[in-house]
């Protein structure tokens, strides 16, 4: 029997069992609004689009997603409930995927609550709604890649703070690898093929491509591979801890 839906529902409901989930969503909405209207100068741009809003998403996720991911496995390891969980008649893959999907959907709910911004730009002008839709899709996919990395880091330690810091550090690397300044530094001592490979690992490059309204299969595949790879790594880490 597939117990993935049971784990998913249990984990998702646990987010809303405490006020922390609501506090997180409120803070996310407030901070994203500050970045969009105050720092990004939404009204000063004179354009009815959400490009300013989406430009800040990689940096928002750099801190918000690790805050969600750090509890996925660290708390289970600290309290010892991971041993109980793994003795139940469920597959490890179901546990890893169920926890991940619940957290990813939770992030998606927070993202959906920003839809009034989409309504606002349609009221103010005539935006390209196709580009806005793909930007939302790209943003959610990128958050999934952040979350998968966080899941693996959370599985490596019982300390949530350490998991938080490790996730931020690793995700930061995956963002800045696409920066022209970073590529200029490595291009001085690496062949162009290696520079292109490093650039292709950047979340920023793939997200920017999607947010321009171009749904290239390679960009979608990149985020899906990142999620799959890091979740597989999560399962390996947990299996080793179980064996140890």
Q: At what angle do helices 57-69 and 129-155 cross, to 10 degrees?
A: 40
Distance in angstroms (rounded) separating the CA atoms of residues 243 and 67: 28
Query: Alpha helix (H) ranges present in the chain?
Result: 4-15, 19-33, 51-55, 57-69, 74-79, 81-87, 92-112, 115-124, 129-155, 160-176, 180-187, 192-200, 203-211, 217-243
What is the structure's pLDDT at 181?
Answer: 77
pLDDT band for position 221 (cuts 50, 70, 90)? very high
Report the number of distinct structural domains present in the chain: 1
pLDDT of residue 190 exceeding 80: no
Domain of residue 79, residue span: 4-243
Higher pLDDT: 89 or 29? It is: 29
pLDDT band for position 44 (cuts 50, 70, 90)? low
Residue 51 · residue 211 · CB < 8 Å: yes
Residue carrying structure tokens 């407030």: 30
Residue 177 · residue 198 · CB < 8 Å: yes
What is the structure's pLDDT at 90?
Answer: 80
What is the structure's pLDDT at 150?
Answer: 96
- Between the CA of residue 125 and those of 49, 63, 112, 118, 212, what are the distances in Å? 8, 32, 21, 11, 18
Distance in angstroms (rounded) separating the CA atoms of residues 177 and 200: 8
Q: How many CB atoms within 10 Å of residue 89?
A: 6
Residue 71 · residue 154 · CB < 8 Å: yes
Distance in angstroms (rounded) separating the CA atoms of residues 5 and 25: 24
In tens, the pLDDT along 96-149 reads 999 999 999 999 999 999 998 888 888 877 888 999 999 999 999 999 999 999
Distance in angstroms (rounded) separating the CA atoms of residues 227 and 193: 24
């Amino acid at each position: 029997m597939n117990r993935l839906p049971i784990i998913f529902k249990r984990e998702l409901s646990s987010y809303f069992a405490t006020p922390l989930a609501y506090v997180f969503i409120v803070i996310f909405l407030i901070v994203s609004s500050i970045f969009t209207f105050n720092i990004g100068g939404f009204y000063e741009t004179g354009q009815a689009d959400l490009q300013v809003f989406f430009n800040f998403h990689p940096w928002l996720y750099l801190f918000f997603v690790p805050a969600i991911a750090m509890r996925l496995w660290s708390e289970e390891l600290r309290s010892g409930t991971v041993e109980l969980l793994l003795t139940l008649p469920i597959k490890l893959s179901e546990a890893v995927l169920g926890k991940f999907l619940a957290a990813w959907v939770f992030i998606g709910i927070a993202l959906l609550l920003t839809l009034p911004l989409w309504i606002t730009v349609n009221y103010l002008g005539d935006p390209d709604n196709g580009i806005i839709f793909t930007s939302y899709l790209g943003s959610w996919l990128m958050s999934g890649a952040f979350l998968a990395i966080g899941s693996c880091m959370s599985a490596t330690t019982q300390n949530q703070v350490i998991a938080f810091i490790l996730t931020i550090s690793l995700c930061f690397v995956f963002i800045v690898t696409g920066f022209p300044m970073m590529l200029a530094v490595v291009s001085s001592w690496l062949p162009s093929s290696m520079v292109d490979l490093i650039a292709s690992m950047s979340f920023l490059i793939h997200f920017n491509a999607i947010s321009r309204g171009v749904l290239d299969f390679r960009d979608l595949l990149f985020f899906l591979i990142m999620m799959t790879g890091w979740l597989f790594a999560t399962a390996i880490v947990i299996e080793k801890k179980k064996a140890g």
